[in-house]
Structure 1
């Protein structure tokens, strides 16, 4: 199945995943104790700050999502290894179902003492996603963080300026579209989290389930 055109290699899925990625970062920051679930760089910096300050319990608060992200990468690779030739499901669909299941659980965990557990679960979800969905239209990208996307978009824009190759411009614009939808996802995360609090996370769960369905459609096509 991987030898054919990837079902996950579409702008449609890339956009939905980017919206979900931006939403989850806003959600965890606003609603689950100021932790970043997607890009672990911020958590690594905050972990180091707490260690130097001697705040070891607080340091653990940032270390556990990092560890969860690490575990998620391993799990995604294991799923790929064991289910890459499954006759009915693409292995990435299995990943999506795990993501949806985890986010639905988080939606019903109360705020407060269990926020750390929620951040661990969401970091796990994001690591599954970033490891499993790595390309759209054959181009490498990330749906849960945008630093690399911004670099690629701007690099292609500069190359277009030098070569006037319209294909290069198209690639640049596609990256910027992904970035725009990631930002839009973050904005939606703010609006929905302020409106319905912890259960706002059901929206990205729904988006991921739609991705799951779309992959059947792509497969049939």
Structure 2
């Protein structure tokens, strides 16, 4: 069955979510393995590690994660500003522009990696992760997270609980979709970790073509039905 221009294509929307999740896992594995144990997307870990370092009086270790945290916040704010009614009224496909920007950022990090400091590289990646997390936050009618899995795991367990105890058939589709998103994140992390061990800084270049595939998939959806935080 084909979807009308204003109705989401569920298969393509899921494919885009899986691409986003794969890249999110790849990005965190790459930043952790390749750039001093700092995460691009999992800011909870960065904050906990920073707090532990402060408690231990290791101020150098504490500051190592701060650029990533700050840049992630900037990415979230930037993506949020793009979802205002004024920006949404523009004729430009902002969802495609955001993906193109993220892909370009990752490609440049890979190419320029021998010249970049760890602080700068992780900050730029965290900015990209913040953009992705905030702008692409829906899968069909549900919120999901493409740069970390805690929220997805919680929502999956809630859906499974609803299926088991409330006989909620509608929750089955959500559980299947979230299971696939979590699996895609894990596969991306495994591929990203192995690639970084072999290719070092240039490994992130592998993620850029995946995002450009996402652009192709996303271009087939109308802007109203794209899996951004402004529509479901």
TM-score in terms of structure 2 length: 0.86
CA distance, structure 2, for counterparts of residue 202 and residue 32 of structure 1: 15
**Closer, same or farther in 2 for the Cα pair 1:113/1:52, shift >3 Å?**
farther
1:152 partnered with 2:155: yes
Q: For residue 143 of structure 1, give the secondary structure of its aligned residue in structure 2.
A: coil
Q: 2:113·2:201 contact (CA, 8 Å) conserved in 1?
A: yes
1:76 partnered with 2:40: no
Q: 1:31·1:193 contact (CA, 8 Å) conserved in 2?
A: yes
**Matched residue pairs, number?**
218
CA RMSD of aligned residues (A): 2.3
Greater CA drift, 117-126 or 94-103: 94-103
Q: 2:8·2:140 contact (CA, 8 Å) conserved in 1?
A: no
Partner of 2:230: none
What pairs with 1:1-221 in structure 2 (closer than 5 Å)? 4-5=6-7, 10-81=13-84, 83-87=87-91, 89-110=92-113, 114-219=117-222
Cα deviation 1:112-151 (Å, max 9, x = unaligned): 8711111001100000000001111111100001001001
Q: 2:111·2:205 contact (CA, 8 Å) conserved in 1?
A: no
Unmatched 5+ stretches in structure 2: 1-5, 226-232
Q: 1:106·1:201 contact (CA, 8 Å) conserved in 2?
A: yes
Q: CA deviation at 1:94?
A: 1.7
CA distance, structure 2, for counterparts of residue 136 and residue 22 of structure 1: 17
Unmatched 5+ stretches in structure 1: none
Q: CA deviation at 1:44?
A: 0.3
Q: For residue 104 of structure 2, give the secondary structure of its aligned residue in structure 1.
A: helix
TM-score in terms of structure 1 length: 0.90
